[in-house]
Chains A and B, each alone.
Chain A
Amino acid sequence: MNFFFDVVLNAFIRMLQLFWFGKRRISNSLSIYVKTNEGNTLCVDLDPKWDIKNVKEVVAPRLGILPEDLKVILAGKELHNSTIIEECDLGQQSILHVVRTQPGRNRTRKLNLPQDTIEELASENSDVNESGSKPMNETLTDLPLEEAEESVTTISEQEQEENRAHFYVYCSAPCKSVQPGKLRVRCERCSSGAVTVDRDPQCWPDVLLPQRITVHCENDFCLPPLSVTHTEEIESQILYAKFYFKCANHTSLGETDESVPLYLIKPNLRKVPCLACTDIRDTVLVFPCEAGHVTCLDCFCDYCTARLHDRHFEFDTVHGYYTLPCPTGCPDSYILEVHHFHLLNAHQYEQYQRFGTEEYVLKAGGLLCPQPDCGMGIIPQSPDTDTTDEECRKIQCIGGCGYVFCRRCLQGFHVDDCETQHPVLSSSQNPATGTYAVDPLKAKDAKWDEASKKTIKVSTKPCPKCRTPTERDGGCMHIVCTRAGCGFQWCWVCQTQWTRDCMGNHWFG
């Protein structure tokens, strides 16, 4: 019933809109910034139903030139006159680049060029109104992770439609979530968006790595740096594309508003079932393994959560990322863009970052401050040859809580051997107060952390390697230390390294 009511209401509102805006020409306005290569910026309201020719007709008078003398550039492509605005992935306050095809500028260019190219250039110039192409988002196909060996396969229009690239980004502000993204391009040298690419990107390395695709820059002020040698001069004439991504969910906040592409997330146009839940979902994550295993985003989060809970993220040994491989255990399948873990909630992502940092500190030979609620990462300087063993053991949590502790036993710093220490008793014997007598035995139990210290002592056993108090709340006797960087496998019964004998004799007690 509600649904029916909504339908009627929507229809009514739409009729009203038609009636109201019919008089104003623009039925559903899109505010766009138009940037010229002469440094002007105009704000224009466009109708998404218009084509680029209409845009030129609106913009040209405001620049005092003829519409035929304009080129409209978006995302590395000159747009053809027949392109409809709503086919381009333009959002509110997006930027369109408008370039004046100056006859004067071309003439000076021609003078510098060798004879045989003049004709070519002239013919290009004569059909300038018919130049341009479809916007990048219409022509770009789904990018493979690796460079394809041969990509000369011709595909039908329908396949092209099904295979069209869709991008997802992590928008750090203001959305703070995973959103659809838009691919944009600028000149690597002058950062101007008024560039046309010489070819579409064919694979992700084309987009992510620098100097893969050349551009033609329309910015008059895009000057090469002063060069010395001839080869440098030639090199500096070659301009490269710098691709970047914008969040498609929020109104553009200007040219510096960029987002990180999450290139493993794809629309599931091939209808592949998730390897975990076997549902066919619209958006999936494709792991960078050879098989290209697919999970839905929910199962990816479950996978991350389970691994995070067990602290079983891994260090990718090649690049050093704290990350996860394909859940089916494929080789060389680490996720190398860790922003993908933003699919987790904010609390989990924060936990992921903390674990990663801790693991890194420990891997680098550092240690974590043992004080509760501190856990500051400390990487002590490598000891000089003349420092004593004692100085080596003494660690101060600088920048954190200031606690001074023993590197070996992680208790408060002490002079003697670790085992003989009784930190519990050290501060209760104070003979200076003569008038106020305290029974040292009673005072011994009346300390803030005493109860928890006792509980820990009674209910845990230390890891034989890193001495972390470990509690066993069920399961077998095979203990894997979950402390960052330790991972020691030990036997709860023997309190030594886990062996085949432990497994045979008392695996389950």
Chain B
Amino acid sequence: MTALPRRIIKETQRLMQEPVPGISAVPDDTNARYFHVIVTGPEDSPFEGGLFKLELFLPEDYPMSAPKVRFITKIYHPNIDRLGRICLDILKDKWSPALQIRTVLLSIQALLSAPNPDDPLANDVAELWKVNESEAIRNAKEWTRRFAMDN
């Protein structure tokens, strides 16, 4: 195992000193490349009031390749599948080394505010979101209450 790159150290320090509002990211005690993340559901979204746990891992060639991020808390969202995997362009082909942990988490938070059923990962959720949005939002609120509130 090589030493932790300075960039990761700097990013971690900044995340600690100037945390992003509504997001906490704490490195694991035993692995500085693994972060425990909590994102609060954005206001005026079906996820409001929820606390969503995520895991974020910085691969060996970070920042040349994107961090790997996954929701641990179950969430009803057309771009997040039942295993918590996220459909977000900047985590795939639109990744750039100029992006950071901070920007990735902000994008995920924005994804909660603006679900995109036209680029789905969870097909059934996306389908409902398109056909009957109010029911889909009801489901999302219900899941938020059940899985993201009582912990």
Interface of A toward B, CB cutoff 8 Å: 275-279, 293, 295, 299, 302-303, 305-306, 327-329, 503-505, 507-508
Contact = CB atoms under 8 A, between A and B. Distances in A.
A275 B64 contact: no
Contact of B98 (A275, A279, A306): A275
Which of B5, B61, B63, B120: most chain A CB closer than 10 A? B63
Interface in B102-124: 120-121, 123
Give chain A's interface secondary structure class.
Answer: loop
Contacts of B98: 275-276, 293, 327-328
Given A327-B64, A328-B98, 8 more contacts: A295-B97, A302-B64, A306-B64, A327-B97, A328-B96, A328-B97, A329-B94, A507-B121
A306 B120 contact: no
Which of B6, B81, B85, B98: most chain A CB closer than 10 A? B98
B19 to A, nearest CB: 18
B140 to A, nearest CB: 19
A293 B5 CA distance: 21
Contact of B7 (A277, A305, A328): A277
Given A277-B5, A277-B7, A504 B123 contact: yes
Nearest to B62: A276
Give chain B's interface secondary structure class.
Answer: loop
Nearest to B63: A276
B83 interface: yes
Contacts of B7: 276-279
25 contacts: A275-B97, A276-B7, A276-B64, A277-B7, A278-B7, A279-B6, A279-B7, A293-B98, A295-B97, A299-B97, A302-B61, A303-B64, A306-B61, A306-B65, A327-B64, A327-B96, A328-B96, A329-B94, A503-B121, A504-B120, A504-B121, A505-B123, A507-B81, A508-B83, A508-B85
Interface in B56-71: 61, 63-65
A385 B127 CA distance: 53
- A-B CB proximity, top 6 nearest: A504-B123, A276-B97, A306-B64, A328-B96, A275-B98, A277-B7
Interface of B: 5-7, 10, 61, 63-65, 81, 83, 85, 94, 96-98, 120-121, 123
Nearest to A329: B96
Contacts of A276: 7, 63-64, 97-98
Contacts of B83: 508
Nearest to B14: A278
Contacts of B6: 277-279
Contacts of A302: 61, 64
B65 to A, nearest CB: 6
Contacts of A503: 121
Contacts of A507: 81, 121
Nearest to A330: B96
A279 B8 CA distance: 11
Nearest to B65: A306
Contacts of B121: 503-504, 507
A353 to B, nearest CB: 21
Contacts of B10: 278
A476 to B, nearest CB: 9
Contacts of B85: 508
Contacts of A295: 97
